[in-house]
Structure 1
Amino acid sequence: MISGGSTDGDSNRARKTKSRREWLEVDGRRRDEPVISFGPEDLKGVSLPHNDALVIQARVANYDVLRVFVDNDSSVNVIFKEALVQMNLHEYQLEAVETALFGFAGHAVYPEGEITLPLTLGAGELRKTAMTVFTVVDTPSLYNIILGRPAMNEMRVVASTYHQKIKFPVR
């Protein structure tokens, strides 16, 4: 779990303003959303029992990225600097971020910055793309990306670690 970052703004004032706006919103639910569920058919290919992390493949800025960790508990989307280097995107101008992240081996990690990139989940007719803000971190990791709540909520992703799948509404 990664916490901190500039998800709600890079200052206390920005976070409080966002909180007030959300509190004042009336019913923001969409009434045309499909029901998303998981059933026995979604277990095809999954070896049970397991305690595996949910790791997927995604397309980011026209690159296929393996080892994308889906983390419902992370308050930011993280892309590791080494992944940006491998994608030849490391020289892009990053937006400055001053808020530390916590959760990397229990100590604060200060991001290199933020970068907004197109993120595509799924394939064919069952795919969805959204411009996604990633916090860039220069620290070793088994993963290339940690997909946190901001992207999951934006794309309305429902994850099941038991089924080792994600689902989201598409047109």
Structure 2
Amino acid sequence: MEGPMIIEAEIGGHCIHHMYMDGGSASKILYEHCFSRLRLKIKNQLKSATTPLIGFSGEIIWPIGKIQLLVKIRDEEHSTSAWMNFVVVRSPSPYNVIIGRPGVRKLQAVPSTAHGMLKLLVEGGVITLKSSRLVPLECAMVSEPEGTPPATKPIVE
């Protein structure tokens, strides 16, 4: 598989599609186009942020704010979750969320971009999830968790 590690997760009680697991980033970023689709109760938890983000080419992005949300990744039977502090930014992106190394570590996840898979430690063992394919219509999808399909496609070992 070529391309980034893309998964789906439940974040703040919403099913978030097109989440990028970025092993090269130290940040946890929630893009404004995704943040604006969350319930008002969640959006009201946004706090001010005063530290800018510096991009690879040196561009400075001033965050809209920061917010702490529960991130839950699951298959049909198992799940793992962790609280994460996201920086909310206004910037064009094909992704809704980026989770960098610290977030990957909090989830006790092991991503393999070469195989397009993510291994997660859950109660009772380890599960393996397969990365989602890029589907342009899904990029902006944010939905309620009730009745949603599993966050990612499970791999049976």
- Please say whether Structure 1 and Structure 2 have the same fold, judged by a TM-score greater than 0.5: yes
Q: For structure 2, which runs of at least 5 residues remain unmatched after alignment?
A: 124-157
- Residue equivalent to 1:137: 89
Q: Describe the shift of the 1:108–1:96 C-alpha distance in structure 2 as closer, same or farther (beyond 3 A).
A: same
Q: How far 1:105 sits from its partner (Å)?
A: 5.8
- 1:156 and 2:156 aligned: no
Structure with greater helix percent: 1
Question: Which structure has the greater CA radius of gyration?
Answer: 1
Report the Cα offset of residue 154 of structure 1.
1.0
Higher relative contact order (CA 8 A, sep 6+): 2
- What value does the CA root-mean-square deviation take over the aligned residues? 1.7
Q: Calculate the TM-score normalised by the size of structure 1.
A: 0.65
| Aligned residues between the structures | 122
Mapped to 2, the partners of 1:51 and 1:123 lie a distance apart of 23
Q: How far apart, in 2, do the equivalents of 1:144 and 1:130 lie?
A: 18
Match for 1:81: what amino acid? Answer: E
In the alignment, what sits opposite 1:22? none
Q: What is the correspondence of 1:70-109 to structure 2 with a 5 Å cutoff? A: 70-89=21-40, 91-103=43-55, 106-109=58-61
The corresponding residue for 2:73 is 121
Alignment match, 1:60 = 11
The match for 1:147 is 99
Task: Write the distance in 1 (CA, Å) between the matches of 2:84 and 2:76.
Answer: 20
CA–CA distance in 2 between the matches of 1:62 and 1:130?
A: 13
For 2:110, give the aligned amino acid.
V
Work out the CA distance in 2 between the residues paired with 1:164 and 1:119: 20
Alpha-carbon distance change, 101 to 112 in structure 1, aligned in 2, over 3 angstroms: same
Residue ranges of structure 1 left out of the alignment (5+ in a row): 1-49
Deviating above 6 A after TM superposition, structure 1's stretches of 4 or more consecutive aligned residues are none
Deviation (angstroms), 1:167 = 0.9
Shift of 1:161: 0.4
1:42-100 C-alpha deviation (Å, 9 max, x unpaired): xxxxxxxx431111111111211111011011111100111011123474132222211
